[in-house]
Amino acid sequence: MLRPRIIPCLLINNCDLVNTKKFYFDKYIGDPINTLRIFNDKEVDEIIFLDINATKSKIGPNYDLLKDIASECFMPVTYGGGITTLNQIEKVLKLGFEKISINGRTNKNISFLYEAVKEFGSSTIIASINIKTHNRSYKVYDYINNRLLDDDMFVFLNLIENTGIGEIFVTDVDREGTLMGYNFDLINKLNNKFKIPIIFNGGANSYIDLKDAIKNDISAVSASSLFVYYGRLNAVLISYPSPIEQNVILNERNKL
């Protein structure tokens, strides 16, 4: 049976691990390498590292940090943040990362996605798409310029899928970091629309949330706060479903 993946999404700011709420800085979490070692012990399915500052500041990937991260990762690992050239992708892959996430937010990004897929293959390139609710509809959000795309979400997502990328990492910006629970209206709209895997991220507040999302056609669920916060006061504590909890979460999908 292919198991839907449960993926911690970890955010890097300079060399720190941080958490954000609706894309605004919320809290310092700790050292990325120490945190990664804990996730390693918990045998996580996969990890996504996003450098939230690398694009905005135009400094690009922090190769020294990424090298340390890769040497501790005995699971698939994705990097995203500040990637604008094929040369950067090659360098990050050489360090030991499997996949590169590229934010899809303008038409210019789309042509870069094509180039990246052509050079490195489908399964290496993930398109990361940020979605915001606007007038009861869903719009693609360009976080760099803080604006919404005019295009319909599905028109844009189909353009993205047609670039040949291997997966789409969808983040619900309105719920990101809020622990409000996944937006199941959005999940239902994305359900069964794509031939490639969808990783859904933003707002998960419990393992039940993960289980309910996986009941759909969603190939992977992702969360940050759920795996780094604990309790009413959001104390920092790294957690991840145990093998038994994973079996419960994945139970609904045994049909595959």
Partner 1 sequence: MIAIIDYGLGNLGSIQNMIKKIGENSKIITHPEELSEAKKIILSGVGSFDTGMNNLIKRGWIEVLNKLVLNDSIPILGICLGMQLMTQSSEEGFQNGLGWISANTEKFNFDTNIYKIPHMGWNDVMFDKDSKLFNSQDFNQKFYFVHSYYIKKIDNCDVTFKTVYGEEFVSGFEYKNIAGVQFHPEKSHKYGMKLLENFINNF
Residues that bind partner 1 (CB under 8 A): 1-5, 40, 43, 45-46, 70-71, 73-76, 93-98, 121-124, 166-167, 192, 194-197, 217, 219-220, 243, 256
Min CB(50)–partner 1 separation in Å? 19
161: which 2 tokens? 């899928």
Tokens of 201: 């991220």
Of residues 35 and 124, the one with the C-beta less far from partner 1: 124
Closer CB to partner 1, 38 or 179, in the complex: 38
Report the alpha-carbon distance of residue 29 to residue 239 in Å, rounded: 13
Query: How far from chain centre, in Å, is Cα 78?
Result: 8
Query: Which CB sits closer to partner 1, 87 or 135?
Result: 87
CB of 71 to partner 1, least distance (A): 5
Tell me how far apart the alpha carbons of residues 23 and 128 are, in angstroms, rounded to a whole number: 14
Minimal distance, residue 147 CB to partner 1, in Å: 31
Q: Are 116 and 89 in contact (CB under 8 A)?
A: yes
Residue closer to partner 1 (CB basis): 2 or 235:
2
For partner 1, which is the closer residue by CB, 30 or 197?
Answer: 197
Q: How far is the CB of 128 from partner 1 (least distance, A)?
A: 16
What DSSP letter does each residue of 17-77 carry, written as one string?
A: EEEEETTEEEEEEE-HHHHHHHHHHTT-S-EEEEESSTTTTS----HHHHHHHHHT--S-E
Q: What is the DSSP letter of 88?
A: H
Minimum distance, C-beta of residue 117 to partner 1, in the bound complex (Å): 12
